[in-house]
Amino acid sequence: MNFPKLFTPLDLGHVTLPNRILMGSMHTGLEDKAGDYDKLAAYFAERARGGVGLMVTGGIAPSIQGWLKPFGGRLTMPWHKPRHRKLTRAVHAEGGRICLQILHAGRYGYHPLSVAPSSIKSPITPFTPRALSSQGVERTIGDFVRCARLARDAGYDGVEVMGSEGYLINQFIAARTNQRNDAWGGDATRRMRLPVEIVRRTREAVGRDFIIIYRLSMLDLIEGGQDWSEIVTLARAVEAAGASIINTGIGWHEARVPTIVTSVPRAGFAWVTKKLKGEVAIPLIATNRINMPEVAERILADAEADMVSMARPLLADPQWPNKARAGRSELINTCIACNQACLDHVFQNRRASCLVNPRACHETELKIEPAGVRKRIVVIGAGPAGMACASTLGQRGHTVTLIDRAAEIGGQFNYAKQIPGKEEFHETLRYFRHRLSEQGVDVQLGRTADTASLRAEGYDEVVIATGITPRTVSFPGSDDPRVLSYIDVLARHCRVGANVAIIGAGGIGFDVAEYLVEHEPSSTTDIARWTREWGVDMQLAQRGGLQPAQPEPPARKIWLLQRSEGRPGARLNKTTGWVHRATLKGKHVQMLGHVVYHRFDDQGLHISIDGASQVLPVDHVVVCAGQEPDRQLADELVAAGVKVHVIGGADLATELDAKRAIAQGTRLASEL
């Protein structure tokens, strides 16, 4: 049997889960409108078909005060039940199980009705919450219980009580946010009374044959968080109050330690869950950066937890459990923890999706169906756009040829995979290698496509995915051999000196800076070293699990430059940009804006900022100044009268990323 621990059933008394895989809660944006519940039902049904043991919905508020944002999803009235029944029926029809997550946002609520234990504004929301009265606390417990009862009526298999990530329950537990001196605040016992009462009264209301997962904050990662003895006491109390399972919560949203981005080592927090093993008898779930079956199996085999939670990995590949069980891990479309289409979208009030799987949350709209007419199609360029297009065309039954002049598939992902903390990009390349083969795509590497041969081969459709060329810069000395492009550094591995200026502070400039400051590229997979660098106390001797960060000294002195005014990195993605900025700050990278480039010579790079000149004493300059579409082949083919479809960077280089490239390739393939 493949992954025997992962596929061992879990007996919860009244129900047996078929395996140890939980799809953790993820807000998709579809929860918030009644009209979107058919789409949400299709999304969950697809994952139930994929074989996951148990799923948890995105956070649903038990009251208006508990909303995450105005008019967010809630289950507070009997007339809300029919929309939820759509989800539970769709999941049960596929043999799956689903719990509703009850989430009261407390002071994280992005609206003026928010409430909290004390009237203290959070650093990440503009609204100051109203402090709940004692009666208000009682009413809030009643709201949780009513929500759980309605969830049961709507057919859910259970609920998850969200007690972590800095939401209302966490705010009651931590002295930092709970300054009350009544029955719900003061000492630790009174601060943790709210979650214990919620679980106890919920269990009374729903009976024994209903799952209650309690999401326990096991590592707050904020000053004034809980200490370990308080966490153990709370775990035992929620068990005694009637919880069926304890799930792990890591870090409040306002924490300044990354918890799920791609540079967090795989299973980087499973050691926290392990610490709680033996303290309670109910099953424990490990979470965060678990994305492949080997990692999940190891956690279970080492008895670090009884179940594993994966949220984004099931967004990326709904068939993850079935593929693992069948021993086809090589075909898993691995979540690379980029956050670009999931969390970043949610923060922009857009529907979530997935960079590597654009069908996620669009299951009813982006359908991959067998082709009506089977055609011979050529795709030129095996970057993300071309790989996605060719493999989807193959899936639909077309006869597909994929040509790339490079010796390997992947395009720019072959540069990205070398950046420290982007090791997961190797997985996308592995996935496409196997998927292209599975779909019978004829992959021709080391071949530069040209107009004459393409015309001679007479394809029914021609797709151009030739990507980009890096933008060059022009100033005196810019033709010096010591002025390199990012391709010289990442592909040709040119030697780079101890002092370096990087021109351009976009995504690639930041990545190249991270590459150049690091001594050993593989260091980001070492959990002990990573926790030291970010100031996480693995002994949990300190409140909140924090200790002073100890970044290792940089391998080089770097200046990261941009012409525009303001802070470099301000345009990086919402949920990951701060991690990149903090990493480079820890490595003493000088980030300068409003720079004018004058010349490069033996003294270094001559620049001025607001009229003040200076010379940066650098050995090399690396140019990361953006990209231009490579349309040469497309233009030649069009001039020769061949109809072409142009996708990815070849279509538009401005604000190009792999999310757009893969989505555009997949969409085109679904239509041809």
| Euclidean distance between CA atoms 655 and 32, whole angstroms | 29
467 near ligand FAD, rule: CB under 6 A: yes
Sign of the torsion angle spanned by Cα atoms 519, 525, 528, 533 = positive
Contacts of 611 (CB under 8 A, 6+ apart): none
Selected binder of ligand NAP within 113, 175, 331, 473 (CB under 6 A): 473
What would the two tokens of residue 667 be? Answer: 């969409």
412 near ligand FAD, rule: CB under 6 A: yes
337 near ligand SF4, rule: CB under 6 A: yes
Residue whose structure tokens are 């990662």: 221
Q: Is the CB of 568 or the CB of 604 nearer to ligand NAP?
A: 568
Selected binder of ligand NAP within 563, 574, 598, 667 (CB under 6 A): 563
Give the range of 233-241, 334-342, 488-496, 567-575 binding ligand SF4 by CB under 6 A.
334-342
What would the two tokens of residue 294 be? Answer: 């080997």
Which residues, numbered 592-631, are part of the site for ligand FAD (CB under 6 A)?
630
Contacts of 617 (CB under 8 A, 6+ apart): 499, 603, 604
Helix H or strand E segment including 215: strand 211-219
Residue 61 CB-density burial (10 A; 0-12 exposed, 13-18 middle, 19+ buried): buried
544 near ligand NAP, rule: CB under 6 A: no
Selection from ligand FAD, ligand NAP, ligand SF4, none that 335 binds (CB < 5 to 8 A by kind) is ligand SF4
Selection from ligand NAP, ligand SF4, ligand FAD, none that 369 binds (CB < 5 to 8 A by kind) is none
644 near ligand SF4, rule: CB under 6 A: no
Contacts of 253 (CB under 8 A, 6+ apart): 108, 124, 165, 166
What would the two tokens of residue 605 be? Answer: 């790079």
357 near ligand FAD, rule: CB under 6 A: no
Q: Are 415 and 492 in contact (CB under 8 A)?
A: no
340 near ligand SF4, rule: CB under 6 A: yes
416 near ligand FAD, rule: CB under 6 A: yes
Selection from ligand FAD, ligand SF4, ligand NAP, none that 171 binds (CB < 5 to 8 A by kind) is none
Selected binder of ligand SF4 within 226, 339, 531, 627 (CB under 6 A): 339
CB of 448 to ligand FAD, least distance (A): 4
What would the two tokens of residue 646 be? Answer: 């142009």
| Euclidean distance between CA atoms 336 and 448, whole angstroms | 30
Selected binder of ligand FAD within 230, 404, 423, 427 (CB under 6 A): 404
148 near ligand NAP, rule: CB under 6 A: no
| Euclidean distance between CA atoms 283 and 247, whole angstroms | 8
508 near ligand NAP, rule: CB under 6 A: yes
Task: Identify residue 70 by its one-letter amino acid code.
Answer: P
Q: Are 201 and 140 in contact (CB under 8 A)?
A: no
What would the two tokens of residue 48 be? Answer: 């139930």
Residue whose structure tokens are 């949400």: 40
Beta bridge partners of 55: 23, 98
Nearest Cα neighbor of 293 from 423, 395, 414, 427 is 427
Tell me the three state secondary structure of residue 174: coil
| Euclidean distance between CA atoms 126 and 136, whole angstroms | 22
Nearest Cα neighbor of 336 from 474, 270, 429 is 429
627 near ligand NAP, rule: CB under 6 A: yes
Q: Is the CB of 40 or the CB of 354 nearer to ligand SF4?
A: 354
Q: Is the CB of 443 or the CB of 465 nearer to ligand FAD?
A: 465
Selected binder of ligand FAD within 45, 211, 216, 338 (CB under 6 A): 338
- The total of other beta-carbon atoms located within 10 Å of residue 368's CB is 12
Q: Are 406 and 382 in contact (CB under 8 A)?
A: yes
Contacts of 230 (CB under 8 A, 6+ apart): 173, 188, 192
Selected binder of ligand NAP within 225, 507, 648, 665 (CB under 6 A): 507
Q: Are 391 and 436 in contact (CB under 8 A)?
A: yes
Selected binder of ligand NAP within 18, 185, 411, 509 (CB under 6 A): 509
- The total of other beta-carbon atoms located within 10 Å of residue 13's CB is 9
Selection from ligand NAP, ligand FAD, ligand SF4, none that 316 binds (CB < 5 to 8 A by kind) is ligand SF4
Selection from ligand NAP, ligand FAD, ligand SF4, none that 42 binds (CB < 5 to 8 A by kind) is none
| Euclidean distance between CA atoms 92 and 241, whole angstroms | 28
258 near ligand NAP, rule: CB under 6 A: no
264 near ligand SF4, rule: CB under 6 A: no
Selected binder of ligand SF4 within 91, 213, 341, 385 (CB under 6 A): 341
Which residues, numbered 632-671, are part of the site for ligand FAD (CB under 6 A)?
633, 648-649, 656-659, 661
503 near ligand NAP, rule: CB under 6 A: yes
Which residues, numbered 322-351, are part of the site for ligand NAP (CB under 6 A)?
340
Give the range of 91-99, 137-145, 180-188, 502-510 binding ligand NAP by CB under 6 A.
502-510
CB of 508 to ligand NAP, least distance (A): 3
Q: Which of 37, 43, 108, 167 is catalytic?
A: 167
465 near ligand FAD, rule: CB under 6 A: yes
Q: Are 343 and 661 in contact (CB under 8 A)?
A: no
Give catalytic status of residue 431 as yes or no: no
100 near ligand NAP, rule: CB under 6 A: no
Using H for helix, E for strand and C for coil, what is the string for 393-455?
A: HHHCCCEEEEEECCCCCCCCHHHHCCCCCCCCHHHHHHHHHHHHHHCCCEEEECCCCCHHHHH
Give the range of 150-158, 198-206, 321-329, 650-658 binding ligand NAP by CB under 6 A.
650-658
496 near ligand FAD, rule: CB under 6 A: no
Torsion of CA 11, 14, 16, 22, to 10 degrees: -90
Selection from ligand FAD, ligand NAP, ligand SF4, none that 581 binds (CB < 5 to 8 A by kind) is none
Q: One symbol per residue from 571 to 590: x for binding ligand NAP (CB under 6 A), - otherwise; what is it?
A: --x-----------------
Q: Which residues bind ligand NAP (CB under 6 A)?
A: 340, 471, 473, 503-509, 511, 562-564, 573, 624-627, 655-657
Q: Which residues bind ligand FAD (CB under 6 A)?
A: 338, 340, 380-386, 403-406, 411-413, 415-416, 419, 448-449, 465-468, 490, 507-508, 511, 630, 633, 648-649, 656-659, 661
Residue numbers annotated as active site: 167
